[in-house]
Amino acid sequence: MARVKVELPDHFGFSTVIPVRITDLNYGGHLGNDSILTLVHEARVQYLQSFGYSEIDLGGVGMIMADAAIEFKQEVFYGDHVEISIAATNFSSVSFDLCYKLEKVQEGSRVLVAAIKTGMVCFDYAKKKVARVPEGVRERMGVAD
């Protein structure tokens, strides 16, 4: 069976640390696949805020997540603190990817726990249609292409 492979860039211009909550665990006692996207969502909001943007105002347009790919590497448990690093890549006229590297410290070493990519499409919510990536967004977000 073919597995998802997420290619991470070499450089990440932003990172944040988010603790794993008890509500993030699944019946297996580790971070659930739905909760990993919740952690990524929080990190994405912080990433955008660091540039003065939000998910509904990326320089005048909003964003919609068109797809997501998750490559799980290690389990994450309650009490772990996950460092999420983010880089913007693969810009087109209307979309770009956000790549996320999730790591935790285990026995004194940094361990990759997941590699994630979300495809983001710019969207004009008033017109209900896809919009162009606003001028300057690519440069401001420090593209890792």
In CATH, what number is assigned to the domain containing residue 62? 3.10.129.10
Q: Which domain holds residue 18?
A: 14-138
Report whether 89 contacts 9 (CB < 8 A): yes
Tens of pLDDT, residues 82-139: 999 999 999 999 999 999 999 998 888 999 999 999 999 999 999 999 999 999 999 9
In a domain, 2, yes or no: no
Report whether 123 contacts 65 (CB < 8 A): no
CA distance 92 to 62: 16
Domain count, the chain: 1
Number of H-type helices and E-type strands within the chain: 2, 6
CA distance 70 to 76: 14
In a domain, 145, yes or no: no
Burial of 59 (0-12, 13-18, 19+ CB in 10 A): middle
- Assess whether pLDDT exceeds 60 at residue 145: no
Tens of pLDDT, residues 13-72: 999 999 999 999 999 999 999 999 999 999 999 999 999 999 999 999 999 999 999 999
Backbone φ/ψ region at 46: left (φ over 0), alpha (ψ -120 to 50), beta: alpha
In a domain, 144, yes or no: no
Burial of 140 (0-12, 13-18, 19+ CB in 10 A): middle
